[in-house]
A and B are shown apart, each in its own frame.
Chain A
Amino acid sequence: MRERIARAICMLTIGVVVALSLLFASVHNEPPTENAPLPPEKGASVAGVAASAVAAPVDLAKGKSVYAAQKCSSCHSIAGDGNPRYPLDSVGSHLNREDLLAWTTGTGAAADILPPGIVRRKQRYRSLPQDNLDALVSYLSTLKASK
């Protein structure tokens, strides 16, 4: 008798957690509103990258390898690969090179907008060699929303 009740309460507890998790996920992922910053654009893709290759191919490869080495994908995603919360798919359409550098290294407007912990983390990238940062920014500026 008591075992049955105990098992039922176990199930109830797990059920509450799963229900709240579902609620959390759905509240969190309401359709983006007009003023949402950097709305993820579904059209963005690797194809868009190739079409608008402003940087030299070598630079692009180097930029990609910096992106991978710094584990940018633990917070960002490109074409669905990585942390989906902060997609970079169309970042090249929204930001110029200067802004891209500021957001990467936690300076300027980014320092005011981002939470302090994230700013600190991003500011660590300032110590990267300049050509690595340039290559990364070049790579990011190729990420454009496809028309």
Chain B
Amino acid sequence: MNATLADRRPHGARWIALYIALVAFPLVILLLGEMPKGGGYGWDFAMALGFGGLAIMGLQSILTARFRRATAPFGMDIIYYFHRWIAVGGFFLIVAHYVILRVGYAGAIGPLSPLTAPWHMTAGRIALLLFGVLVVSSLWRKVFRLEYDGWRIWHAIMAVAAVVLSIAHIQGVGHYTQAPWKGTLWGAYTALWVLVVGYVRLARPWALLRRPYRVSDVRKERGRTWTLTLRPEGHTGIGFQPGQFAWLSLRSSPFRANEHPFSFSGSAADAGTLRFTIKELGDFTRTIGTVKPGERAYVDGPHGTFTPDRHPDAPGFVFIAGGVGMAPIMSMLRTLADRGDPRPLLLVFGNRQWENVLFREEIDDLRRRLQLEVAYVLEEPPPEWPGLRGLLTDEVLRAAIPNIDPGWVYFVCGPKPMTDSVQRALRHRGVPLSRIHFELFEMA
């Protein structure tokens, strides 16, 4: 096993333990001290589930607050993945809380109509509904054709509203938070959620505003793709590891939370300068070509664990890219070349057409500077194309990588169906999962 993974495990484990402790905190408070009289097994079980479910929902904002130290051991993408699935779990706990009471204790929870129900019961029901809308609109955002920026704003508004209504619901019922010290602890705990939202929406944008960047170059690349070059203005900028990414705000104040994640494509050895290579794919990226040198930008980063720098002992690297998924790989290749890295490298690069092969000329140049072999795979090859053709299937990968060395480290970046199938193919050929790396972000 690679040493780096083993080294960072205990570190990551501490953060996981902290997270679970924070989720369990309200239940532990409930268990401590003098207890109110029991209300029957099902009743108390349902109440506890409600607290636990809300704790998970309240902590969601901490998961996506992009605290760099806490997310570094895992990678930001997996934190978002976790955010997504734990939300489903938390929602089921809250649904269970409601269903147990609705079915078992209909008389106690009173009428459904907000006209006759006590306000705190209505608050709880609206919160339940909002949590449902949040989960459904997030898991199936694309199915409902929700535009990303609008969805993000509504996601934040609804999430805060749902949590606030839930807190009001608990306050209104007032049973478990009756003891003054429990009320205080519960208040401090919910204040933590509020503080995190305040940090994300106010403190961090403020910090970003004080470290602006300026676009120094906008360059057209092959295949409806653009490279932006950014230079720090009045500060030294950030360092990053090749393959990492950042949230980029263009033509928008950081306070408007209008940022989008992009991989760095430039060399990490090129201090101060940041490059992002962006394909026209979504509503935001379609406007990239109209950006002019001199425009202001804000960069929140670096983030991510998709980097060869976490594998200093790897004997060699295989890079498998599809289309604009080449951007972070390009950052890796440029950095390794600038560092004079002597290790053997193999690049498998899938594209539709030869004319659209991103960085084609520079890859030729990098071949001279690195121990780099390149296998291009084209879906629609020109006549007399000598190379591989088709998608990056198991069969094509066998031809592109005839000898699998399971000790090497594999970086895969491209559209999700591609990364899924490449991962399966590599697994079949004996590469351990711990040596296959890919970002889980979908490229909009």
Contacts and interface: CB of A to CB of B under 8 A. Distances in A.
Contacts of A29: 38-41, 44
A109 interface: no
A12 interface: yes
Interface stretch (A14-22, A99-107, A126-134): A14-22
B91 to A, nearest CB: 11
B37 A85 contact: yes
B200 interface: no
Nearest to A26: B41
B108 A77 contact: yes
B41 A74 contact: no
A14 B89 contact: yes
B23 interface: yes
Interface string B62-102: 00000000000011001001100110011011000000000
Given A17-B24, A71-B110, A82-B107, A24 B45 contact: yes
Interface in B413-444: 433-434, 436, 440
B19 to A, nearest CB: 7
Interface string B40-69: 111111011100110110000000000000
B271 interface: no
B107 A77 contact: yes
A105 B407 CA distance: 76
Contact of B35 (A14, A27, A37, A84): A27
A75 to B, nearest CB: 8
Contacts of A117: 174, 178
A98 interface: no
Interface stretch (A3-11, A50-58, A88-96): A3-11
Interface size class of B (residues with CB under 8 A): 35 or more
Q: Which interface residue of A23, A84, A117 has the most chain B CB atoms within 10 A?
A: A84
Interface string B13-34: 0001001100110011011000
Given A3-B81, A6-B78, A21-B52, A85 B36 contact: yes
B108 A83 contact: yes
A10 B36 contact: no
Interface size class of A (residues with CB under 8 A): 35 or more
A7 B84 CA distance: 10
B406 interface: no
Q: Which interface residue of B45, B90, B92, B440 has the most chain A CB atoms within 10 A?
A: B45
A13 B20 contact: yes
A13 B56 contact: yes
B41 A20 contact: no
Contacts of A17: 23-24, 27, 48-49, 52-53, 55-56, 93
B107 A13 contact: no
Given A17-B53, A81-B107, A6 B82 contact: yes
Given A2-B75, A3-B78, A85-B38, A74 B110 contact: yes
Nearest to B111: A71
Interface in A112-135: 115, 117-118
A4 B433 CA distance: 10
Q: Which interface residue of B40, B41, B53, B436 has the most chain A CB atoms within 10 A?
A: B40
Nearest to B52: A17
B436 to A, nearest CB: 7
Interface in A26-43: 26-30, 36-37
B132 interface: no
The 5 closest A-B pairs by CB, nearest first: A85-B39, A17-B52, A21-B48, A1-B433, A83-B108
29 contacts: A2-B75, A3-B81, A4-B433, A6-B82, A9-B20, A10-B85, A10-B86, A10-B89, A11-B89, A12-B20, A14-B89, A14-B93, A17-B24, A17-B52, A21-B48, A24-B31, A24-B48, A25-B38, A25-B42, A29-B44, A30-B38, A73-B108, A75-B108, A77-B107, A77-B108, A83-B43, A84-B43, A85-B38, A85-B43
